[in-house]
Amino acid sequence: MIILTGGSGFIGSAFAWKCNQEGVSDLLIVDDLNTSEKWKNLVGLHYRDYLHKKEFFSRLLNKDLPKNIDALVHLGACSVTTEKNMDYLMENNYRYTQILAEWAVQKKVRFIYASSAATYGNGEHGFDDTHAQLPLLMPINRYGYSKHLFDLYALHTGLIKQTVGLKFFNVFGPNEYHKEDMRSVVCKAYSQILETGVLRLFKSYRPEFEDGGQKRDFIYVKDCVNILWWFLQNKRPCGIFNIGTGKASSWNTLANAIFSALDIPSRVEYIDMPETIQNHYQYYTEANMTKLRKSGYTQPFHSLEEAIHDYVRYLKHQKTLSYTPSLNG
């Protein structure tokens, strides 16, 4: 059995889909559905059972979980980069991960968890996923710090040699519709362009970057779940790994690819960035993918243009559906 926390979320439900594609349905989905629309991501998936995260945590502490657990893939967290409740982030993103990791290692269960490229802050120390770099990193928002804190805990306690942490860069793709403001620009742009013919991007507030020239390492969710699956099949690699493509692209390049996929002439307007995020905004990210490649992962990544065209085809298809049954757009 694979325990999958955050299993109804964006990457979590995509990974459940990947498991099903590989013939695996012995999944225990753990999440907090509440009144969100995330339940739609579970429609069409095959899994054994679902537990609310509080019930799961209680059963874990009371030693009331199934005995045949092969892996715990921990993708459940608060991923809102603008979240201001630090106590909530510390409990949800740090402490919860700490307890799950220690439990998994004690039980000899493969533990894979989501870290984040937000831990790199402004990138003044680069984007290398070497363990020696970890203490140097300076996250610039609360979310990034909550993720970084567990990475440091894993380093200092030795858990880093027995677990896998994945620093996801800018992920986009199917099943993210419920994330509201945290949806990718690709997802937001699809509706915005169809409604207005225009895509609005933030202006740059640093002279070395033109408007729309800010760069990120964008990675398609289908590439992410391929990597997750590889780590399940290959139990030897442990440590923290970047999950990006190794190629930074500007927002303008992203915009042009979206317009091209929609077969609409490009039209971009640059708007003021809210003051609340100006000091916490990453202008450049680019994952160093050397470590993952040296570990044996050889699959190619979708190019940005390929990924966006595939995603737009999916969004066009989903427009006729009342739910999101699969990633086969």
Cα(223)–Cα(142) distance, rounded to whole angstroms? 27
Query: Coil, helix or strand for 54?
Result: helix
**Beta-carbon contacts of residue 10 (< 8 Å; ≥ 6 apart):** 41, 171, 173, 175, 176, 178, 179, 221
Identify any residues that bridge with 163 across adjacent strands, giving them in sequence order: none
How many CB atoms within 10 Å of residue 267? 12
CATH of domain 2-171+217-246+285-302: 3.40.50.720
Q: What are phi and psi of 160, to 5 degrees?
A: -60, -25
**Would you state the pLDDT for residue 127?**
97
Q: What are phi and psi of 149, to 5 degrees?
A: -60, -40
Residues noted as catalytic: 143, 179
**Would you state the pLDDT for residue 328?**
54
Cα(328)–Cα(179) distance, rounded to whole angstroms? 20
**Would you state the pLDDT for residue 279?**
83
pLDDT in tens, the chain (329 residues): 999 999 999 999 999 999 999 999 999 999 999 988 999 999 999 999 999 999 999 999 999 999 899 999 999 998 888 899 999 999 999 999 999 999 999 999 999 999 999 999 999 999 999 999 999 999 999 999 999 999 999 999 999 999 999 999 999 999 999 888 889 999 999 999 999 999 999 999 999 999 999 999 999 999 999 999 999 999 999 999 999 999 999 999 999 999 999 999 999 999 999 988 888 888 999 999 999 999 999 999 999 999 999 999 999 987 543 334 456 54
Identify any residues that bridge with 249 across adjacent strands, giving them in sequence order: 216
**Would you state the pLDDT for residue 325?**
43
